[in-house]
Structures are given as structure tokens and as C-alpha cells.
Chains A and B, each alone.
Chain A
């Protein structure tokens, strides 16, 4: 099975900060890497699919990059509504989510 390691598990930041979350797969997953945002009591929402494609309606301050086994989600300038938990997901084989990164206000 492909394992996903997401880091950090938690992160404190301020409005306006640039934030980076990483996800590492135990083997190559080609471009089958997706990112989600989840707020308390809500279903996750898709932000980025296929490493770097921005889902319709998602602000352009969110971006994704990477290849093979190493991937990154970047938020260029944090907004108040961005404080949430973020998950990566490999959808290459036996889809699997990372453990999540909780982003809260410093």
C-alpha cells in the first residue's frame, strides 16, 4: 500500500502569512495528488486536483506543486477564512488521505 506522510500536523500563522504544507508518498503516484480544506462540522472541500489544478471557485492564493512523491500546498497570503484543517489525498491506487494539517491563528 502507498503511505502518505503529511507535515506539519499543526501550524500557527497570521493573516497575510505565506504558508506551505507538504505531503510525501511512499512511492510514485504520478499526478494523482489532491488537496482538501475542512472546517469543523463540515465535509471537506476540494481545493487542488492533479497536483496543481485549481478547483473551480477556489481563490488563486491557493496553489499546488510537486511531482513523483513530494508535493506542496501553498497559501500565498492567509485570509481569516483559511484557518481550517487541510488534507492531501493520493488517488493513484487505493485512495488514501494524509493525516491532516490543522492551521490556526497565531
Chain B
């Protein structure tokens, strides 16, 4: 059974960088099947797909247009986890952040528990 556990600060100051990590158990971040993703949810923006990282003989990243200039998703093979960094945050980035796995048809078949991150001074 695949499980994902996010971790990271719950409070981030405006203009700083939001950083979250998602630990994987029961699967490998280097799997040649599927992808590892971050999604966020807020009352104003609903569910918003942020980006993915995946391995197909080499590493690939794809990001949502809305955050492309500010986001980095990185795999960490030594710890079997992946991370999210979102730079220059504003209160609009306050949301519950989910990590997940994309499987068939790029549907998110495994979700981590949500991590509420608040951007406030």
C-alpha cells in the first residue's frame, strides 16, 4: 500500500519561500510508471494542480502556468521523497497542500494528507 506523508512549516512570511516535503512508502520516487505531484486547495482557487516530477530514464518536471515562474519540484532518491518549493509567496498562496501520485490517465490515485500552509506576517 502506497502512503505519502507531507511535512514542512505551517506558517510562511510573505515574500519568503514555501517548502514542503513528501515522504513515499510502498513505492519509489524513481519509478518508471506514474508521476509525483503537488496540488493545493483553497476556498478562492478550488483544487489547483501545481506540477509533477517523474523519471523516464531521466528526470522530467512539468509545472502549472499559474506558478511556473516560482515553483520547483525536486525528487530526492536517497530519501525516497520529493519536495515543493514556491518562491515569493503572498497571502494568496495560503492553502491546503496535497502531495500525490499520478497513475493511469494521469489520475491522482494516491493522496497524502493535506498540509495547511498559511502565508502571513
Residues of A that sit less than 8 Å from B by CB: 1, 31-32, 34, 36, 43-46, 49-50, 53, 55, 87, 89, 91, 94-97, 99-100
Chain B nearest CB: distance from A97 CB in Å? 4
Residues of B that sit less than 8 Å from A by CB: 46-49, 64-65, 98, 100, 102-109, 111-114
Which residue of chain B is the closest to A34 with respect to CB atoms?
B107
Q: Given A44-B111, A45-B111, are A50 and B49 neighbors across the interface (CB < 8 Å)?
A: no
Q: Which residues of B contact A89 (CB under 8 A)?
A: 47, 49, 107-108
Which residue of chain B is the closest to A30 with respect to CB atoms?
B105
Please tell me if the beta carbons of A50 and B64 are within 8 angstroms of each other in the complex.
no
Which residue of chain B is the closest to A91 with respect to CB atoms?
B106
CA distance A45 to B64 in the complex (A): 21
Cβ contact of B64, chosen from A43, A46, A87, A94, cutoff 8 A: A94
